[in-house]
Structures are given as C-alpha cells and as structure tokens.
Copies of this chain bind each other. A is one copy, B any other.
C-alpha cells in the first residue's frame, strides 16, 4: 500500500540513455517516488555510482540496482516503466500486468496493432500478441483520454513522435494527398542508444553526416499505422533518417502536396488542433525549429510553410529525442494515468 498520494514507480532496464533520462525526470518529479531500478549489468550498484551526475540528487545515493522480481516490483509499485530492447519488453510486461501493475513500455513491442506487421518490420514472432489489443499508443496529442485509463501504454518512437504530431491536423482534415508524404529526419547520436558499436564511436560520428535505414526503417510501421487511422485511408510515406554529430535532438522536415481546396485552411486547422496542447509550440513569424530550443524539455516546436510554386506544404518539427521523443513523453503518460497535472515534473 502506498502511504501517500505519490506515484510509486520502477524503471526496468535503466542503463541506456532513455532509462537514464527517465530516472533524471523521475528523481525530480514532485509526485513520483522512484522505488526500484533494475539492470542486469549494474546489479547491486548504487544509482549514483553508475550515473555520477545523479550523486547527491534526491534518492540516487541510496537506491541500488536490483534484479527484476515481477512479484516484488508489482507489489511495491504503481507504474512500471520498461526501458528494454525491442523483443525483451513483451516478455517482462506480461507478469507485471498479471500482478496488477500498470506498464509504460518504451520499446516498440506494443506499438503495432498487428502481430504480422510486427514480424514484417522487426523480423521476429511477437511473443505476447494477445496484449496488442489492450495496448494504448502513448501519444497524448492523439490518445489523451485512452491513456488516462490504460494499463499498458506503448510509448511512440522518437522519429514517429516528431513526424506524427505535425501531420495530425492536416491528415485528420484530409488536406494533404495521402501518397505524397516524404519525410527527412536528422537525429543526434543518443537516438541510437548506448550501443557499444564501432559506428557510434566519437571519431566515427563527429564530422560525419550520413543517412541510414534506407528505404524501410522500422519506425515506418507505427507511423503509417497511426496516420492511416487518423486519415481514414491507407497512407504510405517515404522516410529517411540521418545521423548528425549532436548528442540530442531530432529535426523532422516533411513534404506533402496540399489538396487544392485546402490551401487557405492550413493555418486555422493547425492552430485549432494545437491550441490547448501543453507541449506543442506552433512557431510564429519568421521562426523555424532549432533543436537547441527544445533540448532538455518536453516541447515539440513546429513550423510550416506553404510553397505556392509547388503547392506543397513543408512541415518542420524539433524535439529532444530523449524527452518528448521517449522519457518525457512517458512521464507525460504517467501524469495522465495518475491524474497529475499533465505538465508535472516536465517544466
């Protein structure tokens, strides 16, 4: 039993960049209490020992990495965050859910509604397909009400967040041609996670700019799934991500043909859709998105331009891949699930 109104939370797999950022947000959250962190490789070490930046911060000097014991965690926790690799999360989610914990999963395991689609894009059979129907896609700008009551939330990927949010208003209003969407994203290197591979060494990334995942990046699956649902028609897009030498931040630039009747309505549709969104900043005047304005925050900055020469709209967004792109969005979902102010711990 919890003794006060704080939400007791655990982070399973807190050794990557997303897990570390999540811990940072939770340690500073006014209404959450971090009761457990697990990590096989850091077992027994104090949180502040593994992440020296957390020394002297809240409970980081007293809490230690434990082994995952589902029963124990479910008993002492209200919400469990899974910061595990794709394919591993599904395995851990089930026993936690069975024991009554609510789960916010940061992996891709519960983002797709179809186990077939999962197999196509992730190359393996889904191990808990029966849970897919119960999962809620954790994009508050789209599923705010469902998230409040959800027991299993699948946080969107960082690229999908940066692509879906700017596309939601015009797609819902059917103002853009479904087949015309081309998306370029530029990501800082933490987007790849803390993978110890030669390609992510400093001297391989610094002074290097490069595309990758061409032409069928895994994130296409959830982007197209959600866009098609919003637009009420099958939507396939082109999406090419690029790696650039920065720690954090994603810039997404989207090209799409505007339906002839839609040109005049773009501005009002965008403004109406985002008016009450606490974390969407629709830029005005000459401003264009710049990752340095969102890094460390849960904001997504969005700008758009209509090009009369080509009848295309250019949508641009900036997010911090580790905050609005992952851990901040997860905390935003936790806030909704716990009836906290949606912005609690995120400003």
Contacts and interface: CB of A to CB of B under 8 A. Distances in A.
Interface stretch (A145-153, A164-172, A201-209): A201-209
Copies in the complex: 4
A341 interface: no
A310 interface: yes
Nearest to A304: B214
Contacts of A309: 215-216, 236
Interface string A263-287: 0000000000000001001010001
Nearest to A210: B290
Nearest to A290: B210
Interface in A30-68: 52-53, 55-58
A236 B310 contact: yes
B244 A186 contact: yes
A207 B247 contact: yes
Contacts of A283: 52
Contact of A249 (B28, B196, B209, B211): B209
Interface stretch (A3-11, A71-79, A133-141, A295-303): A295-303
A244 B245 CA distance: 7
Nearest to A294: B53
Given A186-B186, A290-B52, A310-B236, A201 B194 contact: yes
Contacts of A211: 251, 253, 288-289, 316
Interface string A177-214: 00100101010111000111110111111111111101
Contacts of A295: 207
A209 B255 contact: no
22 contacts: A52-B287, A52-B290, A52-B293, A56-B299, A182-B255, A182-B312, A186-B209, A188-B209, A189-B206, A194-B198, A207-B207, A208-B292, A210-B290, A210-B292, A211-B251, A214-B303, A215-B306, A215-B307, A216-B307, A240-B316, A245-B245, A296-B296
